[in-house]
Structure 1
């Protein structure tokens, strides 16, 4: 039996398209200045103060092996759930939501060796899009290191 249709948020990074399940996406916001978070794992670019809520911004470029690029006002932030944790992904552009018909969804890629953080693939007319699972995006060690960094008092100069 084929899975029910699902909706995914498509986004681009370095000209490549990726996706996130819509149930993990909370909102899209414009790029804003980040605050450094000392002792955070290297996957964390910094903190975003979003209406009083401090959220870690994850460096998806690093995770997907793209070259580092400074923050640009043209970047988009995707506020999403990584399990119980709220996180922000900095991407080049959020393209929008796409409803996937059952025939466009393939869960097989998550079972392939070397394909981490993947929930499945969207088989679209213009190409394959890997849909990422943020629950596995941070390793257990990175998650613990981030918890410790968030709990640490700010460093004084």
Structure 2
């Protein structure tokens, strides 16, 4: 697999979703923003919740709840958006709460969770003193088909109506 993480992330951004903690390598994270209203994106793949207007740029918002099989819920003003880089694509992830950065000690990294059945989109797990955190690999988050579908949906929004 060419898109494996070359090495363990040194630092992760922790966030919660439905009471579970997850992490993202900080090198993939661009900024954190408060929840804002989303623009619907017709014909987008189901994993895309809508578009976020960030400084005049429309970013696709990926629905982590759907991807991790959590129950859907409407956008709350308390939600956070994590602006992140998924390969060549900049995206927004809606999370319940961004908890902040955590530096990982070298022995905290465990790559085995990627082998567990049903654990997709995971680069590994960080063993922290207060529990295990699954760390996501955003490059595997959108399937190629979803990426193409998303490109087509985004292109359709750019044509003047």
TM-score normalised to the size of structure 2? 0.91
What is residue 121 of structure 1 aligned with on the other side?
125
Structure 1 SS opposite 2:69? coil
Give 4+ residue runs of structure 1 displaced > 2 Å after superposition. Answer: 111-114, 153-157
Q: Out of 92, 96, 120, which is 1:92 matched to?
A: 96
Which whole-Å deviations, capped at 9, do the CAs of 1:100-131 have from their partners, x for residues lacking one? 00111111212333321001100011111000
Tell me the secondary structure at the aligned position of residue 50 of structure 2. Answer: strand
Write the distance in 2 (CA, Å) between the matches of 1:130 and 1:153: 34
Matched, 1:67 2:71: yes
Q: Counterparts of 1:48 and 1:107 in 2: how far apart (Å)?
A: 32
Structure 2, gaps ≥5 residues long: 1-6
Q: Specify the SS of the correspondent of 1:80.
A: strand
Render the CA deviation track for 1:4-34: whole Å, top value 9, x for unaligned: 6610000000000000000000000000000
Q: Deviations over 1:72-91 (max 9, x none)?
A: 10000000000000000000
Q: Measured at CA, do residues 100 and 153 of structure 1 come closer, stay the same or move farther in structure 2, by a change above 3 Å?
A: closer
In 2: Cα distance, 1:149 partner to 1:4 partner: 34
Q: Is the 8 A contact 1:4 1:101 kept in 2?
A: no
1:18 aligns with 2:16: no
Q: Number of residues paired by the alignment?
A: 155
What residue is the counterpart of 1:33 in the other structure?
37
Match of 1:76 in 2: 80
TM-score (norm 1): 0.93
Q: What corresponds to 1:57 in structure 2?
A: 61
1:152 is aligned to 2:161: no
Change (3 A) 1:103 1:56: same
